[in-house]
Structure 1
Amino acid sequence: MRTQIIQRTLRVPLASGPRGDGSAVARQLDVALISVGFKASRDLLEHVGGLAPGEAFDLAVEVVTAVRGLVGDHVDHNPYFRDFPAGVPDTVQFWMRLVRAAEAEDGVLSPRRGAVNLLAFARYGRLQHTFAEMLAEHDALVDSIKDRVTVVHLGGPLERELTSLYRALAGSATPLDAADLTLLGELAVACPDVPPGPMPVRENRAVVNAARLRAGREPVAVDSAVDVLRLAYALSGGDVTLVESTRFRGFRRQERRALMAALDAAVAADTGVLGDVNRYAGRFKRLGERLHPHEYPAFPRAQDVFAVARGERTVTSLAGQAEAALARGEVGRAAWLLTESPGMLLRSLDRLLRTAGAESDAVLSATNSVLGSVSGRVLCSVREHLANRSWTALARVFVNRAGRPWVAPDTRVPLSPAVVEAVCGMVDVELASRMPSYERLVIDPDVLSVALPLSGKASEGGFAVLPRGTRTPVEGGDLLRFFTYWRQDKRRTDHDLSALLLDEDFRYVGHVSWTNYRDDGAVYSGDLTEAPNGATEFIDIPLDRITAAHVVPQVSVYSGEDFTEVAESIFGWMVRDRAQHGAPFEPRTVRTRSDLRGSGRVALPMMFSRGADGWTATWLHLYLTGSPQFNQVETQRATTGKLTGVIANRRAMTVSHLVDLLAAEAGSVTAWEPGLRFTEPVAFVGLHRPEGLPEGSTVITLDRLTELVPR
């Protein structure tokens, strides 16, 4: 848990060991952190320096280990060609050398005919040098003021840090990804007596309530039948998002009674929740087989749920009533029916506005009447959606919860700019009414271009990872270097790093991969085909020389375990000046490092595009289905080109929009610059917490950007 806190928040929980003189260890800690692109805050160095040497050393090791893992420096990154990028040969010439070497060893000098299996060569895909031998081929990294420096701060006592992280995850205004949901469950177990506070996301409620039930406590904030279904899934170790079905385990009598009581209370509060049962009728029937409803006559309303699931009682859902009204052409009536479920109305708004015709005013009036009852996340999502509906797009991109995209033609007619402006104006008024008021607001300009994190499923774990749709400038050097690292678990696994090169219209112009080591100045580090102890592949992109307009890195599962099965799989990128030299992997030059844990066989973490103002990075977090085996960048180039072209033309709602609403209510607004100092607490919004903010300041950084989204 201490390591999780350090990696997620860059805050080090206070050590409670004996006091002493740990000043020497503190100095060593600072040097070690600088070598991997971090810096200890003054408070952290003073805390380490005030501990006994043994305690100080243990804490320092913990901090350095955590941040090294954060940027991917916890393993050795050894490329196939040890003097990469200088010594990478021509692809075909390299293959022919392997053939001739094999022929010489076999005593066969005539050229081989037909297909050649590269894996049959002992030298192919397996390192022929040690990590130390590789390092000896490279000059030391030359220091640069452009190298990344990230501050690590001193936190509070471990219990307080755990409680803060628990409440932040439980109270997130947006859905969490799988890793965060797992951590939330662990924190709920570790903090059984801590009230979680408001939990607007139902998946979070299920995870927290499962921990509460196991600890003998009553579930909280359960207000629908589907909430109880999610809770039963959580107790069974299943998918609380309900995307995947789960086999229910046998429940203890206490758990059965609690689930039945929660169902009964939800139906008693609103019989309309019975309309949601039909959507999951099969799952409710299986749940009923585990709960034995007939044993609980004290909960008759809960038994109604299972009667609906079995078809013994007919309930028309609100969505069904609205569909019937639309079928009759009564768009206004459909809108007013949906006011009973404000979130459903907002999610149906595009369709309603497209078909409203003369009833547009009725739809707008119904919408305005429910805005105060809709979550801030839905408001932001609707505004982002409508902001892209005033023109005709060539295609639409849909992305599911697993990051799987698909592209479909956009056959919708554009919405009237006047209607879009009217709805966006109403939404902005509602959002502004929910924004907190700060006396002194400090904004780091680097955060303004970040896409609002409207779902944790639109991102990945890692370091400096930004939400899908975010566009940020690529600064700090003229050489961009991608890397991927994987470590197989149970069977031989080959992941391949490649880069697709596209022109201004997102048409294929080239690629670099294991089939083409060099193209348009880009260089591939060589193919590694197994990873029992881990393997790393690199690609260099010379930003000042390459002619392609767009570069899309891709990680493919060629054979073996996919991203969810391997022991570890990561992607990242570095920026450096060519004069800096250094080893292929230098932690100080790592700008981001993200986990690869999607369910597809081809990962598209991001793309890089050249514009009038230089290069920008756009975060994708997408996983293509791919093929069961032998995925290559060449076979995905049409899909990837079309997909990235559509995404590039879509405008995401960014942090700057909500910051503008915050600024309108703030007493004063200051743009952050290094070296600024404040004497009184401020509200700071930025990617990373700067050093020297006064005690009592409100700090919203990358790990807590969801707090900007109003509840």
Structure 2
Amino acid sequence: MRRFAHLCDHPRMAHNLESLVIRHTHRLSSPKGSAGEGATAARQFDAALTSVGFKLSAELLERLSGLSEAAVVHTARRTLRTVGEMVGDHVRHNSYFIDFPANVPDTEEFWMRCVAKALGDDKSRGKVLTQLTHGVLNLLSLPAYGRYQHTYEEMLAAQDELITSAGDRVTVLHLGRDLEDELTDLYLALAGSVTPLGEDHLRDLRTLAEQCVLGPQPESIPVRENRAVVNEARLAVGADLLLDTVTDVLRLACALSGGDVTLQEPTRFRALSRPARRALLAGLDAVVAANPAKLADVHAHREPFKRLGERLHPHEYPRWPHAADVFAVARGEKEARSFDSRVAKLLDEFDVLGAAQLLKAAPGKLFRALDLLLRTAADQEERDAVLAAAVQVAPEVSGRVVLSVREHFHNRDRETGQPRIFVNRRGRAWVLADRRPPVPAPDRARLMAALDAEIRGRLPRPGRLLVDPDVLDVALPLSGRATASGLGVLPRGSVSPVDGERLRFFVYWKESAARTDYDLSVLLLHADYSTDSWLSYTSLTAVGGRHSGDVTEAPDGASEFIDLSLDQVRGAFIVPQVNIYAGEGFEEVDESFFGFMLRDGEQRGRPFEPRTVRMKSELRGVGRVALPLVFRREADGRWRAKWLHLYLKGISSANQVEENQVSVAKVVRAVVEREQLTVGDLIDLMSDDTTAVDVDVWDGEQLPDEPVTYIGLERPEGLHPDSRVITLENLRDLIPD
């Protein structure tokens, strides 16, 4: 059993690993326990799951029914805890207005009610009177404002029971293999991913690597951040390190110091053990000895290398002279001309042909520079040469980069003169006018045709392909950083239908050390992106919407809700947002997440009902304004969501929807009007006239008896066991190498 034999002796670790498998795969590792009559307990477990929007597959229900009642109860407790966290039901969601969404007062009426209560209180009367005489009132000085006036239990007693609806979400949990096998498969999938992982997935990979580093390994680890995490685990057990650039060593040093392996944020290097120092220096020495040109890579991260050198003391290890050269280059004591500087010099001299020829030695960089080369070229001859170079090196470029460049040029003509959005690795977004000269349409068309041919040649021939139509408009996950962790979350740019009469947003946060006030708001925009109205703590009721009330501190956690009747919304866009009014940022609080529910018109229930939750995502960004997604009314009157996962810088405090409506509208327009490459686009390439792929669109009813390749949002019950299944959890597997 390799390194897994100890899991049974550590129940908490075993639960954490089981939970990790459920979150990533929606599979329950094969339950263990003595045989028995567990059918009744299994049915009760299934019923309890239904209350949070989950259910057991028939195969899993049968497996549990054959175990003892004690084994089923043990499994149920651990699983219910996990799925509750997945949907956001692990915390108590209270609302300021106890009857929400009923009986929400007008804003001015509510404020006057709070003032009247304050004037009737001996402790607050004097302070409030003084403020009123000066014509300015601080709402936080009113005892009844911003703090729950009732308990969670009192709120529950005031609410009607939820009426079950056929539209409620049901997520199926399937029977998995033994825990060891599930963990190994998940480790191989994450470590070998061809696209970068998000922060939470990278953290999970670290956990898996600690367990799986001595077992089967992926054929390759193309993403450098993933390699750093795996190398950290390999170093801990004395295994050989996977290093072929000096930057690999720098990333590993960041991992050992608990820093940022993406190298986007500075890392404070810790004092490292002597074995770790020797391993890092030996790794640097081997990389440079094999290829001295790798020294040029130091320039991209000179400051981190200088700080690392202060920790490694390379002068104490004369047997690794090439490692010392790395830090000499970082300090400017040794020359190592970088590849990028040579390219920049040629472009400064307008030598496009020379730059293209040099860039052929670095195919990925050539692809990333194609726009610049094509718009800098002096004539058609130079543009032809650039296109020829791109076609020549295309087979050496990663599939993720080929697809990214294909998407870029698809949008290139519509972006010229229009707002252009920039998004960094942490989701921070900003918009600037696009002043780049256009790329000639014929050249753009030729390049896109060549890229399509390259992608088509790399795609598998899956035989019979069964597709859930709801997945066709999901954006290809070219980076895990374009998706937040959570349940039902789609990559940035994805479009999904909204079926329901009422849309309810929610945000939850729990402050860590300082009073923290998050404000859930909704901005309603016209078709031209001008403001129609908004819902927030300053506008509690508007256009068929209700705000649950402002909560201004969250030492024990707090929730806010907005309920909208979709048929009463006048505008073309619904833009939910979370503003940090005061206190800790999204990455500083103990916990924070956003989501939305869909309900039929007559459904009652608590403000938060887990089985009506369609999406719940973690809020983890560096800005002060979060924009999770936008809802757009289509020409047929139906609503569709487009996923954003963006953060605006905002201001240090007092962010409000009224103040950021212009910047939000610009970002929304830039994303809405940009067209992403989707799963549907890839399927079209996979199944055009030159292939022998049989594509069927699944109607949600009968499933074929033979094995298929299934692509959908979730795995349906009843698929042939030998089918290949691609869902949201492993959508990255669609990206060709």
Calculate the TM-score normalised by the size of structure 2. Answer: 0.93
Secondary structure at 2:174 match in 1:
strand
**Structure 1, residues 462-519: CA drift from partner, whole Å, max 9, x if none?**
00101111111111x1111111111122232211101111111111221111111012
| Corresponding residue of 1:680 | 706
Separation in 2, partners of 1:116, 1:174: 52
| Corresponding residue of 1:208 | 230
| Corresponding residue of 2:5 | none
Separation in 1, partners of 2:402, 2:319: 40
**Structure 1, residues 371-416: CA drift from partner, whole Å, max 9, x if none?**
1111111111111111111232422110111111111111012212
The one of 132, 136, 140 equivalent to 1:112 is: 132
**Structure 1, residues 425-483: CA drift from partner, whole Å, max 9, x if none?**
111111122212212211111111011111111111100101111111111x1111111
Quote how far apart the aligned CAs of 1:17 are: 1.6
- Is 1:71 the counterpart of 2:87 in the alignment? yes
Quote how far apart the aligned CAs of 1:136 are: 2.9
| Corresponding residue of 1:22 | 38
| Corresponding residue of 1:591 | 614
| Corresponding residue of 2:656 | 632
Identity %: 51
The one of 3, 22, 31 equivalent to 1:6 is: 22
Separation in 1, partners of 2:731, 2:290: 34
Quote how far apart the aligned CAs of 1:295 are: 3.9
| Corresponding residue of 2:12 | none
- Is 1:218 the counterpart of 2:240 in the alignment? yes
Secondary structure at 2:475 match in 1:
coil
Separation in 2, partners of 1:293, 1:125: 57
The one of 504, 508, 523 equivalent to 1:485 is: 508
What is the root-mean-square deviation of aligned Cα atoms in Å? 1.7
| Corresponding residue of 2:716 | 690
| Corresponding residue of 2:343 | 322
| Corresponding residue of 1:506 | 529
Q: Give unpaired runs (5+ residues) of structure 1.
A: none
Residue identity matched to 1:39: K
**Structure 1, residues 330-370: CA drift from partner, whole Å, max 9, x if none?**
10110110111111111111000111132001101111111
The one of 463, 471, 478 equivalent to 2:487 is: 463
Quote how far apart the aligned CAs of 1:666 are: 5.0
| Corresponding residue of 1:611 | 634
- Is 1:123 the counterpart of 2:128 in the alignment? no
Residue identity matched to 1:26: A
Separation in 1, partners of 2:413, 2:440: 6
- Kept in 1: contact 2:213–2:230 (CA 8 A): no
Separation in 1, partners of 2:194, 2:417: 30
Separation in 2, partners of 1:681, 1:60: 31
Separation in 2, partners of 1:705, 1:87: 44
The one of 574, 579, 592 equivalent to 1:556 is: 579
Quote how far apart the aligned CAs of 1:144 are: 1.8
Quote how far apart the aligned CAs of 1:667 are: 4.0
User: Mapping of 1:241-256 within 5 angstroms?
Assistant: 241-256=262-277
- Kept in 1: contact 2:686–2:693 (CA 8 A): no
| Corresponding residue of 2:306 | 285
Separation in 2, partners of 1:547, 1:76: 33
- Kept in 2: contact 1:346–1:382 (CA 8 A): yes
Kindly tell me: are residues 90 and 305 of structure 1, through their superposed partners in 2, closer, same or farther at Cα, counting changes over 3 Å?
A: same
**Structure 1, residues 613-654: CA drift from partner, whole Å, max 9, x if none?**
311111111111222222111111111111111211111111
After the TM superposition, which of the residue ranges 406-415 and 271-280 deviates more from structure 2?
271-280
| Corresponding residue of 2:330 | 309
- Is 1:403 the counterpart of 2:427 in the alignment? yes
Quote how far apart the aligned CAs of 1:670 are: 1.8
Separation in 1, partners of 2:464, 2:319: 55
- Kept in 2: contact 1:339–1:345 (CA 8 A): yes
Quote how far apart the aligned CAs of 1:215 are: 1.4
Separation in 2, partners of 1:379, 1:296: 43
**Structure 1, residues 90-139: CA drift from partner, whole Å, max 9, x if none?**
10011111112222334899993311122222211122222233233332
- Kept in 1: contact 2:163–2:605 (CA 8 A): yes
Separation in 2, partners of 1:254, 1:534: 44
- Is 1:139 the counterpart of 2:160 in the alignment? yes
Separation in 2, partners of 1:328, 1:295: 44
| Corresponding residue of 2:9 | none
| Corresponding residue of 2:411 | 388
Kindly tell me: are residues 590 and 695 of structure 1, through their superposed partners in 2, closer, same or farther at Cα, counting changes over 3 Å?
A: same
Quote how far apart the aligned CAs of 1:680 are: 2.3
Quote how far apart the aligned CAs of 1:282 are: 2.2
Residue identity matched to 2:669: G
Quote how far apart the aligned CAs of 1:296 are: 3.7
- Kept in 1: contact 2:118–2:144 (CA 8 A): no
Quote how far apart the aligned CAs of 1:159 are: 0.6
Residue identity matched to 2:732: T
Quote how far apart the aligned CAs of 1:320 are: 1.1
Separation in 2, partners of 1:383, 1:270: 32
After the TM superposition, which of the residue ranges 249-258 and 399-408 deviates more from structure 2?
249-258
Quote how far apart the aligned CAs of 1:264 are: 2.7
After the TM superposition, which of the residue ranges 403-412 and 311-320 deviates more from structure 2?
311-320
Quote how far apart the aligned CAs of 1:540 are: 1.2
Separation in 2, partners of 1:443, 1:393: 38
Separation in 1, partners of 2:315, 2:162: 72
- Kept in 2: contact 1:441–1:663 (CA 8 A): no
User: Mapping of 1:524-673 within 5 angstroms?
Assistant: 524-613=547-636, 614-664=638-688, 665-673=691-699
- Kept in 1: contact 2:525–2:572 (CA 8 A): yes
After the TM superposition, which of the residue ranges 667-676 and 1-10 deviates more from structure 2?
667-676
Secondary structure at 1:277 match in 2:
helix
Calculate the TM-score normalised by the size of structure 1. Answer: 0.97
Quote how far apart the aligned CAs of 1:233 are: 1.0
Separation in 1, partners of 2:417, 2:94: 44
User: Mapping of 1:53-452 within 5 angstroms?
Assistant: 53-106=69-122, 112-113=132-133, 114-197=135-218, 198-220=220-242, 222-358=243-379, 359-391=382-414, 392-452=416-476
Separation in 1, partners of 2:667, 2:448: 27
Q: How many residues align?
A: 709
**Structure 1, residues 45-69: CA drift from partner, whole Å, max 9, x if none?**
0111111111111111222222122
Separation in 2, partners of 1:430, 1:298: 46
Quote how far apart the aligned CAs of 1:678 are: 2.7
Residue identity matched to 2:62: E
Quote how far apart the aligned CAs of 1:256 are: 2.5
Separation in 1, partners of 2:152, 2:312: 58
Separation in 1, partners of 2:117, 2:270: 59
Separation in 2, partners of 1:59, 1:243: 41
Secondary structure at 1:593 match in 2:
strand
Quote how far apart the aligned CAs of 1:424 are: 1.3
Residue identity matched to 1:24: T
Separation in 2, partners of 1:134, 1:310: 63
Separation in 2, partners of 1:300, 1:293: 8
Separation in 2, partners of 1:576, 1:435: 40
